[in-house]
Amino acid sequence: MIKWGGICAQCKVMCVKTSRKRIIIVTLAALILLIVFAVFYRSSYVPPPFKVAPLPKSAPALTTAEVEDILSADFSLIRRVQQIPAPVKADYTALANEPFEMVNPGQTRSTDAIIPGVPNKELVFVGLAGSDAVLIFKRGGLFDTTNVAVFSHRGTGGVWSARIDDYSVQDIAALRNAVHNHRFEAWDANFLFGTPPR
């Protein structure tokens, strides 16, 4: 004869154990998802530490030799606008006398055909090494240009800016090679209008 009371009690115990397992599994899954999200958010949106004061507008110009020395360092690269530290944006604004407005690599930007509300500059990368920063970006206009700005916060600080003749520069090694081989032209007043320097 079947003892239904005993079977029901066993079923209840099994159900409780199964519920606990499900709760543990769901909790672990949620914790893993939270960790993955936190890592993604940090790697995509949180600026890395770059604790320097912005350079003054009167910061001296760096020589090509000084730039080559700076570019010999081991840089960490940033390829998202959201991660660019505030001092780098402030240094750009002081140098170019215009707001820091760029799109991420591969995003649509204005060119000679202006798209309302869309910047005409596209980030290539920002490199950080110690108290130095390198900014490379493409600028749309009548002619597309690849531009570089080097900001050094060593000592009294210094800046260097140019249009790079090598459109394939995607890292510090390629930039160092372009600078070493003098494949650049210093910025002039025409830069502000998006046309190449003469």
Residue 64's H or E segment, with its range, is helix 64-71
Q: Which residues contact 131 (CB under 8 A, 6 or more apart)?
A: 52, 152, 153, 154
pLDDT on residue 192: 47
The CA-atom distances, in angstroms, between 42 and each of 32, 47, 115 are 15, 8, 31
The label of the residue with tokens 């003469």 reads: 198
d(CA 128, CA 151): 10
Residue 171 has pLDDT above 50, yes or no: yes
> DSSP secondary structure string, 42-56?
HHHHSPPP---PPPP
pLDDT band at 195 (very low <50, low <70, confident <90, very high): very low
Residue 137 has pLDDT above 90, yes or no: yes
Spatial contact of 101 and 121, defined as CB atoms under 8 Å apart: yes
d(CA 36, CA 4): 47
d(CA 146, CA 164): 5
Give the residue from 197, 162, 198 showing the smallest Cα distance to 181: 162
Give me the sheet containing 145-152, strands edge to edge: 76-78, 121-129, 132-139, 145-152, 158-164, 184-186
pLDDT on residue 49: 82
- Domain positions in the chain are 1-46, 64-193
d(CA 28, CA 192): 53
Predicted TM-score (pTM) of this structure? 0.73
Residue 168 has pLDDT above 90, yes or no: no
pLDDT on residue 190: 47
| % of the chain residues with pLDDT over 90 | 55
What does the pLDDT look like over 57-115, one tens digit per residue?
889 999 999 999 999 999 999 999 999 999 999 999 999 999 999 999 999 888 878 88
pLDDT on residue 194: 44
